């Protein structure tokens, strides 16, 4: 069945998504490699690789370690810096009919503000995604995302300068994610993206040492899907801003679960490494799965678990 009679469309702050599937930041680069495999215009949107004020090399290698049902990464926000991204990546991305979300990162609140100010007038960027949840950088990143006051503060500062909607990507490495979600909402966030990776580690049996040069890394993949679902479900009941669900999505069924839990769209991360065509497959599967469960649109699935 290729003829799709279900409505995959979703309108969110800054984002008019033709379908709710968005490759997650850090797992898709700037799309150039995947553009050799399929037309990026088929995607609802793309969350591009984090931008910081200056270029960052990131962590030493090894930067990845495999796990039973996922992987650890400690890339360390390697990116060419916001100016370079504006110069070389955004003009190229403009050719695609898909919504570009700029993931913004930094070592201080001022860094976030600086990146946003530089990206404000870039027409191709439709929304910002504040990365206050990267577990692999020493300052900023997760430091801002684990305390409600700090999370609210950076959100407020970014909102004050941003000319586009601001989404905030939350860390699961907290005692009470609802408190962070509420703080960020009060700070003026237009939406939440959750969850970033769970902090973990692995050790080498021969050397007895951690496999990752950074010692710890962020766990992603199917292993974290139940955690992501639980957190989306908890937050969806306590905030009124929309949520983009992330964590362990590999199929249309997984997307439907996130929609039921309260997400309005999803990001797909590490599975792009396993099946480089997975986002396209998941879009097709989602249409089938919605049909199977008698749901005429994505909107009908959003928050279904909260209505029962």
Partner 1 sequence: MKTEKGTILRQECIAKDTYRMVITTTQSADMNPGQFVNLAIANVMLRRPISICSIDKDSFTIIYKVVGKGTALLSRMYAGECIDVFGPLGNGYVIEEREQEVLLIGGGAGVPPLYELAKRYLRCGAHVDVVLGFHDEPSIFYEQEFRDLGCEVYVATMDGSYAHQGTVLDAIDQEGIKTSFICACGPLPMLKALEQRYTKGYFSLEARMACGMGACMACIAKDAREADMYHRICKEGPVFAIGKVVLV
Positions in the binding site for partner 1 (CB under 8 A): 26-29, 32-34, 36-37, 49, 55, 57-58, 60-71, 73, 75, 78, 221, 270, 272-277
Instruction: Please identify every residue annotated as catalytic.
Output: 134
How far from 127 is each of 24, 102, 103, 153, CA to CA, in Å? 14, 6, 9, 19
SS (H, E, C) 98-142: CEEEEEECCCCHHHHHHHHHHHCCCCCEEEEEEECCCCCCCCCCH
Select 70 or 228, whichever has its Cβ closest to partner 1.
70
In the complex, minimum distance from the CB of residue 110 to partner 1, in angstroms, rounded to a whole number: 22
For the beta carbon of residue 117, count every other beta carbon within 10 angstroms: 14
Select 148 or 269, whichever has its Cβ closest to partner 1.
269
From 225, 221, 234, select the one nearest 192 (Cα to Cα).
Answer: 234
From 253, 255, 289, 248, select the one nearest 271 (Cα to Cα).
Answer: 248
Select 78 or 182, whichever has its Cβ closest to partner 1.
78
Chain-centroid distance of CA 47 in Å reads: 6
Chain-centroid distance of CA 306 in Å reads: 23
Select 67 or 178, whichever has its Cβ closest to partner 1.
67
In the complex, minimum distance from the CB of residue 78 to partner 1, in angstroms, rounded to a whole number: 5
How far from 74 is each of 198, 203, 219, CA to CA, in Å? 11, 14, 9
DSSP annotation of 21 reads E
């Amino acid at each position: 069945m290729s003829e799709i009679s279900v409505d995959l469309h979703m309108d969110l702050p800054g984002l008019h998504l033709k379908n709710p599937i968005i490759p997650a930041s850090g797992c898709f680069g700037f799309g150039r490699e995947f553009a050799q495999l399929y037309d990026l215009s088929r995607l609802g949107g793309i969350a591009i690789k984090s931008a910081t004020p200056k270029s960052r090399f990131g962590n030493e290698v090894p930067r990845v370690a495999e796990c039973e049902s996922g992987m650890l990464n400690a890339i360390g926000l390697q990116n060419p810096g916001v100016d370079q991204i504006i110069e070389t990546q955004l003009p190229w991305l403009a050719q695609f009919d898909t919504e570009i979300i700029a993931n913004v990162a930094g070592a201080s609140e001022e860094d976030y503000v600086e990146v946003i100010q530089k990206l404000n007038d870039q027409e191709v960027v439709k929304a910002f995604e504040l990365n206050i949840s990267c577990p692999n950088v020493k300052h900023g990143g997760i430091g801002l995302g684990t305390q409600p006051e700090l999370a609210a503060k950076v959100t407020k500062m970014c909102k004050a300068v941003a000319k586009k909607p601001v989404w905030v990507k939350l860390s699961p490495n907290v005692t009470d994610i609802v408190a962070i979600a509420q703080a960020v909402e009060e700070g003026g966030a237009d939406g939440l993206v959750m969850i970033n990776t769970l902090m973990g580690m692995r050790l080498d049996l021969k050397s007895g040492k951690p496999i990752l040069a950074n010692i710890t890394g962020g766990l992603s993949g199917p292993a974290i899907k139940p955690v992501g679902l639980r957190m989306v479900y908890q937050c969806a009941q306590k905030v009124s801003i929309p949520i983009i669900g992330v964590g362990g999505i590999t199929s249309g069924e997984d997307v439907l679960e996130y929609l039921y839990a309260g997400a309005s769209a999803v990001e797909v991360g590490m599975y792009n490494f396993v099946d480089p065509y997975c986002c396209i497959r998941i879009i097709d599967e989602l249409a089938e799965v919605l049909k199977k469960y008698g749901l005429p649109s994505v909107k009908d699935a959003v928050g279904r678990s909260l209505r029962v």
